[in-house]
Amino acid sequence: MKNYEKSVCRKFSVQVYNWLKSRYSDDLYDFLVLEDENFVSMKIKINMKKEDYEKRGIGILNYIIKTCRIPDLIKVNWRYNRKIFEISVLCEE
């Protein structure tokens, strides 16, 4: 991964964290960032009800997809299970 792309991924992870913290500070369960030479990965866990998941969860996914500077770099996986909404974002070439 090139230095510019890695820098974009790092800044994006900080941006997503700040946005989540400002909107879902009480519900944010876990936010983990892993970094290697070839990728930057984010794992997000949020505690929410099924009714909230249908509105807020999809809103979070849309925010992540639309605000990345280089959308071709990211791959997003998500699932909802037992009141926990999990999002995995992999940023790589």
DSSP track, 31-63: EEEEE-SSEEEEEEEEE--HHHIIIIIHHHHHH
Q: Which two tokens stand for residue 63?
A: 């925010």
| 36-81 pLDDT per residue, tens | 888 889 998 888 888 877 788 888 888 888 888 888 888 999 988 8
When comparing pLDDT for 38 and 27, which is higher? 38
pTM for this prediction: 0.81
pLDDT bucket at 28, cuts 50 / 70 / 90 = confident
Cβ atoms within 10 A of the Cβ of 91, count?
24
Q: Which among 50, 81, 44 is positioned nearest to 63, based on CA atoms?
A: 44
Sign of CA dihedral 49, 83, 44, 26: positive
